[in-house]
Chains A and B, each alone.
Chain A
Amino acid sequence: MTVTVSPAAESAVLAGEPELPDILPPVKQRRGITGFIYRHPAIAIGGAMLSLLILMAIFAPLLGTTDPAALAPSKRTRPPSAEYWFGSDMMGRDIYSRVIYGARVSLIVGFAVAIIASLAGLVIGLVSGFVRWADSIIMRIMDGMMSIPPILLAVALMALTRGSVPNVIAAIAIAEFPRVARLVRGVVLSLREQPYVEAAVAAGTRTPMIIIRHILPNTIAPLTVQATYICASAMITESILSFIGAGTPPIIPSWGNIMADGRALWQVKPFIVFFPAIFLSITVLAVNLLGDGLRDAVDPRMAKRL
Chain B
Amino acid sequence: MLGFIARRIVATIPVMGIVALFVFSLLYIAPGDPAVVIAGDQATPQDVERIRVSLGLDRPFLERFGEWSWRILHGDLGTSMFTGMPVTQLIGQRLEPTLSLMVLTLILSIVVAVPIGVLAAWKAGSWIDRGVMGFAVFGFSVPVFVVGYVLAYVFALELEWFPVQGYTPLSEGLWLWFENLVLPAIALGCVYIALIARITRASMLEVLQQDYIRTARAKGLGQRPILFLHALKNAAVPIVTVIGIGMALLIGGAVVTESVFAIPGLGRLTIDAILRRDYPVIQGIVLLFSFVYVLVNLIVDLVYTLLDPRIRY
Q: Interface on A for B, CB 8 Å cutoff? A: 140-141, 143-145, 147-153, 155-162, 167, 170, 232, 236-237, 239-240, 243-246, 259, 263, 266-267, 270, 273-274, 277, 280-281, 284-285, 288-289, 292, 304-306
Give the complex CA separation of A160 and B273 in angstroms.
Answer: 12
Pair A152/B252 contact, Cβ less than 8 Å: yes
Pair A161/B31 contact, Cβ less than 8 Å: yes
A276's nearest neighbour on chain B, judged by CB, is B146
Residue B15 is within 8 A (CB to CB) of chain A in the complex? yes
A286's nearest neighbour on chain B, judged by CB, is B141
B247's nearest neighbour on chain A, judged by CB, is A149
Pair B274/A245 contact, Cβ less than 8 Å: yes
Pair A232/B30 contact, Cβ less than 8 Å: no
Pair B18/A143 contact, Cβ less than 8 Å: yes
Q: Interface on B for A, CB 8 Å cutoff? A: 14-15, 18-19, 21-23, 26-27, 29-32, 34, 37-38, 137-138, 140-146, 149-150, 153, 157, 164, 198, 201-202, 205-206, 247-249, 251-253, 255-256, 259-260, 270-271, 273-275, 277, 279, 282-283, 285-286, 289-290, 293-294, 297
Q: A140-B18, A143-B15, A160-B37 are in contact. Are A244 and B149 (CB under 8 A)?
A: no
Contacts of A289 in B (CB 8 A): 137
Question: Distance in Å from the Cβ of B60 to the closest Cβ of chain A?
Answer: 19
Contacts of B19 in A (CB 8 A): 144, 147-148
B140's nearest neighbour on chain A, judged by CB, is A288
Q: Which 3 A-B pairs have the closest CB atoms?
A: A144-B18, A151-B252, A160-B30
Q: A159-B277, A160-B38 are in contact. Are A244 and B18 (CB under 8 A)?
A: no
- Out of A159, A161, A162, A170, name the residue touching B274 (CB < 8 Å): A159
Give the complex CA separation of A270 and B151 in angstroms.
Answer: 12
Pair A150/B274 contact, Cβ less than 8 Å: no
Pair A305/B252 contact, Cβ less than 8 Å: no
Contacts of B253 in A (CB 8 A): 151
Give the complex CA separation of A281 and B198 in angstroms.
Answer: 20
- Out of B21, B27, B144, B270, name the residue touching A155 (CB < 8 Å): B270
Question: Distance in Å from the Cβ of B143 to the closest Cβ of chain A?
Answer: 5
Pair A284/B143 contact, Cβ less than 8 Å: yes
Contacts of A244 in B (CB 8 A): 255-256, 259, 270-271, 274
25 residue pairs A–B, Cβ–Cβ below 8 Å: A145-B22, A148-B286, A149-B248, A149-B249, A149-B290, A150-B248, A151-B252, A155-B286, A156-B282, A156-B286, A157-B29, A159-B277, A160-B26, A160-B27, A160-B38, A160-B279, A161-B34, A162-B37, A170-B31, A239-B143, A240-B256, A243-B259, A259-B145, A280-B143, A289-B137
Question: Distance in Å from the Cβ of A126 to the closest Cβ of chain B?
Answer: 22
**Chain A binding surface, main DSSP class:** helix
- Out of A152, A161, A292, name the residue touching B251 (CB < 8 Å): A152
Give the complex CA separation of A304 and B202 in angstroms.
Answer: 9
Contacts of B247 in A (CB 8 A): 149
Pair B22/A141 contact, Cβ less than 8 Å: yes
B287's nearest neighbour on chain A, judged by CB, is A148
Give the complex CA separation of A240 and B201 in angstroms.
Answer: 29
Question: Distance in Å from the Cβ of B204 to the closest Cβ of chain A?
Answer: 10
Contacts of A151 in B (CB 8 A): 251-253, 255
A241's nearest neighbour on chain B, judged by CB, is B274
Contacts of A161 in B (CB 8 A): 30-32, 34, 37
**Which of A152, A153, A155 is the most central at the interface, judged by chain B CB atoms within 10 Å of its CB?**
A152
Question: Distance in Å from the Cβ of A194 to the closest Cβ of chain B?
Answer: 25
B267's nearest neighbour on chain A, judged by CB, is A244
Give the complex CA separation of A148 and B256 in angstroms.
Answer: 17
Pair B164/A267 contact, Cβ less than 8 Å: yes
Question: Distance in Å from the Cβ of B100 to the closest Cβ of chain A?
Answer: 19
Question: Distance in Å from the Cβ of B19 to the closest Cβ of chain A?
Answer: 5
Pair B34/A160 contact, Cβ less than 8 Å: yes
Pair B153/A270 contact, Cβ less than 8 Å: yes
Give the complex CA separation of A212 and B39 in angstroms.
Answer: 48
Contacts of A292 in B (CB 8 A): 137
B199's nearest neighbour on chain A, judged by CB, is A306
Give the complex CA separation of A240 and B249 in angstroms.
Answer: 12
Pair A159/B279 contact, Cβ less than 8 Å: yes
Contacts of B249 in A (CB 8 A): 149
Give the complex CA separation of A158 and B270 in angstroms.
Answer: 12
Question: Distance in Å from the Cβ of B63 to the closest Cβ of chain A?
Answer: 20
Contacts of A263 in B (CB 8 A): 259-260
Question: Distance in Å from the Cβ of B157 to the closest Cβ of chain A?
Answer: 6
Contacts of A162 in B (CB 8 A): 32, 37
Pair A240/B252 contact, Cβ less than 8 Å: yes
Question: Distance in Å from the Cβ of A192 to the closest Cβ of chain B?
Answer: 24
Question: Distance in Å from the Cβ of A246 to the closest Cβ of chain B?
Answer: 5
**Which of B32, B145, B294 is the most central at the interface, judged by chain A CB atoms within 10 Å of its CB?**
B145
Pair A155/B141 contact, Cβ less than 8 Å: no
Give the complex CA separation of A262 and B35 in angstroms.
Answer: 31
Give the complex CA separation of A162 and B253 in angstroms.
Answer: 23
Q: A156-B26, A267-B157 are in contact. Are A305 and B259 (CB under 8 A)?
A: no
B124's nearest neighbour on chain A, judged by CB, is A304
- Out of B143, B149, B201, B260, name the residue touching A236 (CB < 8 Å): B143
Pair B149/A277 contact, Cβ less than 8 Å: yes
